[in-house]
Amino acid sequence: MIQTQRINWILVVSLLIFPLIAYFHLTVGQQEISLTDFKNAIFSYDSTNTAQLLAREFRFPRLIMACVAGAGLSLAGMLMQTLFNNPLAGPYVLGINSGASLMVAISLLTGIQFFGTNVGLISSALIGAFAAGMLMMSVVGFLKSQVSLLLVGLMFGSFTSAIVSFLEISSKAEQLKSFTLWSMGSLQNVLLEQIPLILLFFVIGIILSALIVKPLNLLVLGENAASLLGIKIQQMRIIILIITALFTGLITAFCGPIAFVGLAVPNITRILLKTQNHLYLIAGNLLIGSAFLMLCDILIQVVESEIQLPINVLTSLIGAPFVIFILIRKMK
């Protein structure tokens, strides 16, 4: 009971800090935009007003994308970690990102007509993510230790990036440019018109996750114990894979690969909340994940005038040492 109070308290505090971070994120850009302009951009939009135009077409989509990407990747990471019973799992280290990236590379670099469209890009990223997830799922049975799963994921990542490099060499300059821009990762690529579709996918993913809270709580005991408590393991694996692919594919398609968020945030959330109840963990990952990526993106915009820092570079700079930290903690 004391535990629940503590969790509620942390969640409420994060919920209170959340709008503050969002406000900073909105106002941090080089052009100053007043609060009234933000308000008008939503309620009485005037497209001839530059400030309102900036707010509506750039700041809001970027903010939403930062939240969706941070929260979605963290939730995907949490699902992977629970399914594989491995705190080192995550969409990036398990190669789910790589699968999506490979398919996007094929779309953008081969110039096949279908893939050039929006729908083509998203669906190819989703298919890539799902296929990579299936591959990892089929491999996991042969692996004895938690670290080897990580190694297989990273090897798969190297393998796909080799194919991507090959595609890059043999592609046209124009296609190469659009792919390179995508692969740097950015939260600014998304257009206002695409936001409703993204939010729809995002909300579906959250609802699906919330529906499997009970199986997730039992999976913490391991697959064997969970199945003896009435969980249909095969079915649950597929559901978790679909949700993970949904989040990862969607986010990778629009923002490019974003590393380590899905690994680091679920661990931070668990350490902060000190619980294995996935109802709280889902809420925590949504809040902390979006806050984390907003903060990263604020930092990027603060240093923007000095250096261009792709989001993927920043999350790797923070995330890679974090993995080493977890490894050391586990080995002790």
Partner 1 sequence: MIHFKQAEIGYQDPLLKVTDLTLEAGNVYALVGRNGSGKSTFLRSITSQTPLLAGEITINSVSIKNANAIEKSKTIAFVESKFDGIAFLTVANYLALGRAPYTNALGRLSQVDWDFVNQVANEIGIEAFLQKDTLSLSDGERQLCAIARAIVQETPVLLLDEPSAFLDYANKQILVDKLLQIAREKQKCIVFSTHDLDLCIENNIEFIALKNKSLHKASGLTKPELISLLEEKG
- Which is closer to partner 1, CB of 149 or CB of 167? 149
Q: In the bound complex, what is the minimum distance in angstroms from residue 207's beta carbon to partner 1?
A: 13
CB of 237 to partner 1, least distance (A): 14
DSSP string, 140-166: HTT--SHHHHHHHHHHHHHHHHHHHHH
Choice between 196 and 230, CB closer to partner 1: 230
Closest by CA position to 133, among listed 79, 211, 179? 79
List for the chain the helix, strand, coil content (%; round to 5): 80, 0, 20
Q: Name the token pair of 85.
A: 């019973």
Question: What is the distance between the alpha carbons of residues 29 and 16, in angstroms, rounded to a whole number?
Answer: 23
Which is nearer to partner 1, 75 or 245 (by Cβ)?
75
Tokens at 107, concatenated: 């779309």
Own/partner pairs, 294-300, CB within 8 angstroms, 24+ separation: 294/21, 294/22, 294/24, 294/25, 294/63, 294/66, 294/67, 294/70, 295/21, 296/66, 297/25, 297/62, 297/66, 297/187, 298/21, 298/24, 298/25, 298/28
Smallest distance from partner 1 to CB 297, Å: 29
Nearer to partner 1 (CB atom), residue 158 or residue 276: 276
> Which CB atom, from 6 or from 295, has the smaller least distance to partner 1?
6
Q: Which is nearer to partner 1, 4 or 165 (CB)?
A: 4
Least distance in angstroms from the C-beta of 3 to partner 1: 7
- Neighbour-count burial for 265-276, b at 16+ CB within 10 Å, e otherwise: bbbbbbeebebe
Task: Report in angstroms how near the CB of residue 268 gets to partner 1 at its nearest.
Answer: 13
Half-sphere exposure of 75 (CA within 13 A, CB side): 35
In terms of CB distance, is 177 or 329 closer to partner 1?
A: 329
In three-state secondary structure terms, 191 is coil
**DSSP character at residue 87:** T
Please give the residue ranges that form the binding site for partner 1 (CB under 8 A).
2-3, 211, 213-214, 217-218, 220-221, 224-225, 227-232, 270, 273-277, 279
Shortest distance in whole angstroms from residue 152 CB to partner 1? 23
Q: State the minimum distance, in angstroms, from the CB of residue 265 to partner 1.
A: 16
